[in-house]
A and B are shown apart, each in its own frame.
Chain A
Amino acid sequence: LAKTTQPISMDSYEGQEVNITCSHNNIATNDYITWYQQFPSQGPRFIIQGYKTKVTNEVASLFIPADRKSSTLSLPRVSLSDTAVYYCLVGDMNSGNTPLVFGKGTRLSVIA
């Protein structure tokens, strides 16, 4: 699976928009980009997934440039409850049994 690089940590105040960028220079044609969120003492939880351009759901937006070598997770108006570790993953999820390869993630701390 393509290796990803993302910031170790980020801080934000409540109500601000948070953008977390992930680099994946070796992304392959069949690879999707997936973001997971992990709260303390819980398992990772799927946030959003995309292949190209922009994807938006009720939780976040995912921006993917044309070359797909990076992606940006955007969290609008964060609250204290968004404090978590956010993982960017890249891989060919259609290959059947490919496990997820988690990097170290970005620890987001939301401050009141």
Chain B
Amino acid sequence: DTAVSQTPKYLVTQMGNDKSIKCEQNLGHDTMYWYKQDSKKFLKIMFSYNNKELIINETVPNRFSPKSPDKAHLNLHINSLELGDSAVYFCASKPRYRLAGAETQYFGPGTRLLVL
């Protein structure tokens, strides 16, 4: 009954390869995100999707392309992997919003990517 799940948990690959990370949420949320946490543990937003539509695209190289087949899934595809892409990638989701007060985001367990 995992709320936000990611696969794979670990990903080790060579420079130049193309890889994908999958994210699924079973919370019925409308909005999903991808965050990157680097070696200094700084957590940064990459993308935000709302009902399969790209809402936010922070300064991220074009090699990163999110894809949302439906509102429960937000996958991250990375082309031509570079050493600097090594990090932990977190998927998150939240309800669209509610007028009664602020809501919270639910994070997945993370995918640890190591590019050699």
Contact = CB atoms under 8 A, between A and B. Distances in A.
B64 to A, nearest CB: 16
Mostly, the A contact residues are loop
A97 B45 contact: no
Nearest to A91: B102
A77 to B, nearest CB: 24
Given A49-B102, A93-B102, A94-B97, A99 B45 contact: yes
Contacts of A49: 101-102, 104
Interface residues of B, number: 30
A42 B97 contact: no
B109 to A, nearest CB: 6
Interface of A: 32, 34, 41-46, 49, 51, 85, 87, 93-97, 99-102, 104-105
A34 B43 contact: no
A104 to B, nearest CB: 6
B45 A101 contact: yes
A44 B41 CA distance: 12
13 contacts: A44-B43, A46-B104, A46-B105, A49-B102, A51-B102, A93-B102, A93-B103, A94-B98, A94-B99, A97-B55, A100-B92, A100-B105, A104-B41
